Amino acid sequence: MTTPSSTPSDRVRAAVTDPVTQAGLVVEDVEVAGSGTRKVVRLTVDLPDGPGGVTSDQIGDVSRAVSTALDEHDAVDGTYTLEVSTPGTDRPLTEPRHFRRAVGRLLDLTTADGRRTCRLAGVEDDRLQLTDDQGSREVPIADVTRARVEVELTRP
């Protein structure tokens, strides 16, 4: 399973992908921090697609399954603390499924022709349907250089 050239994060990702997938989630990010025998394993998980969010019950269930998998695969040298969380509102939108999960939300979006705040009305294949004060437009996801959800305290 592990090779001498694999990083600690690679070993953790390999060990946890199956239990996370079985829980109906996807691995967003893996970080192994610390040195010596005291490590912190930070695992970020999310729903695979669509609206909604990961529940605290899902976090608890996947945490137990991941902890078991890490121990069974001996993926982390020494003792470790496991932290399982979701990406949060400030994560960059980089994949089509990130955009699909953000439909209806206000975005801070940058493309080659500039930066704008717009609402994500929909996602079709590899194109975003955006609306703002100037109307509607479509933008290929490939043209987006940066995108984040804007937190709205009062949504329309």
Same domain, 76 and 39: yes
Same domain, 13 and 78: yes
CA dihedral over 51, 53, 55, 58, signed as positive or negative: positive
How far apart CA 128 and CA 138 sit, in angstroms, is: 5
Same domain, 29 and 73: yes
Residue 156 is assigned to a structural domain of this protein: no
Same domain, 57 and 103: no
- Tell me what pLDDT residue 156 has: 58
- Tell me what pLDDT residue 153 has: 81
Q: For residue range 121-134, what is the model confidence (pLDDT) as tens digits?
A: 999 989 999 999 88
- Tell me what pLDDT residue 35 has: 78
> What's the order of all strands across the beta sheet hosting 144-149?
135-140, 127-132, 114-124, 106-111, 144-149
Same domain, 58 and 101: no
Q: HSE-up of 41 (CA within 13 Å, CB side)? A: 27
Q: Which residue has the tokens 């294949």?
A: 125
Domain that holds residue 112: 96-149
- Tell me what pLDDT residue 88 has: 84
Residue 2 is assigned to a structural domain of this protein: no
- Tell me what pLDDT residue 152 has: 86
Helices (DSSP H) in the chain: which residue ranges? 8-22, 56-73, 96-101
- Tell me what pLDDT residue 89 has: 79
Q: What is the CATH number of the domain that holds 49?
A: 3.30.300.70
Q: What is the CATH number of the domain that holds 100?
A: 2.30.30.100
Cβ proximity of 54 and 47 under 8 Å? yes
- Tell me what pLDDT residue 2 has: 46
Parts of the chain with a pLDDT under 50:
1-3
Closest CA to 87 of 54, 109, 133: 54
Q: What's the structural domain count of the chain?
A: 2
Q: Collapsing DSSP states into helix, strand and coil, what is residue 54?
A: coil
Q: Collapsing DSSP states into helix, strand and coil, what is residue 36?
A: coil
